[in-house]
Amino acid sequence: MNVNRTARQNHRFDRWMYRGARPNRVARTLNSFSAKLASAGIGPSRMVTLRVPGRCTGQSVAVPLVEARYHGERYLVSMLGQRTNWVRNVQAANGDVILEHGRREQVHLVEVEPAGRAPILRRYLEVAPGARAHIPVDHKAPEEEFAEISTQYPVFRITPAGSAAKKGP
């Protein structure tokens, strides 16, 4: 089987797992397992578990995410767009969350304005190949193509807990 065909099949599976921008039962099971591994520090350092209070229940929700580093800063990206639960939970929590990868780190997430998202989205697709099925721009595309879709995909800069910064590129 050639590489392009394998990649297409993987993307088809990835899209199936998150049809309608919601994880199906298979995706939820895999996410739960991935979150436990990332929390324990097992796996690549770019894999983290986001812990955020649920906006309705207040109970901690664990979500495995890929951290992208760009120009010395750390970022989280929503590969499924604006309406994902974790994004809405982070917004309801005013950005105050916990990240885990072998250790717990209280942080504050600052949403990046759409004008500053393009290079971060591009970097994110470089380090998170599983997200490529969900973001309609090739990871090698020019930055201008990422700018065109930047309003659709939230990006959060990871800052120290208690950070006064409210906006940033």
**What is the residue-wise DSSP string for 4-38?**
HHHHHHHHHHHHHHTGGGS--HHHHHHHHHHHHHH
**Contacting residues for 144 by C-beta, under 8 A, at least 6 apart:** 118
Global pTM? 0.84
Supply the pLDDT for residue 167.
46
Of 47 and 27, more confident:
47
Residue 25 to residue 18: CA distance in whole angstroms = 10
Mean pLDDT confidence for 61-82: 96
Residue 89 to residue 83: CA distance in whole angstroms = 10
* Look-up of token digits 């950005």: 95
Res. 14: pLDDT tops 90? no
Supply the pLDDT for residue 165.
52
Which pLDDT tens digit goes with each residue over 91-125?
A: 999 999 999 999 999 999 999 999 999 999 999 99
User: Given phi > 0 = left and psi -120 to 50 = alpha, else beta, which region is 40?
Assistant: alpha
Q: How far is CA 39 from the centre of its chain?
A: 15
Write a three-state SS string for 104-164.
EEEEEEEEECHHHCHHHHHHHHHHCHHHHHCCCCCCCCCHHHHHHHHHHCCEEEEEECCCC
In this structure, of 56-60, 95-99, 140-144, 163-167, the range with the lowest mean pLDDT score is 163-167
Mean pLDDT confidence for 42-70: 93
Long-range contacts of 123-129 (CB under 8 A, 24+ apart): 123/68, 123/69, 123/70, 123/75, 124/66, 124/68, 124/75, 124/77, 124/79, 124/155, 126/68, 127/46, 127/66, 127/68, 127/69, 128/46, 128/66, 128/68, 128/77, 128/79
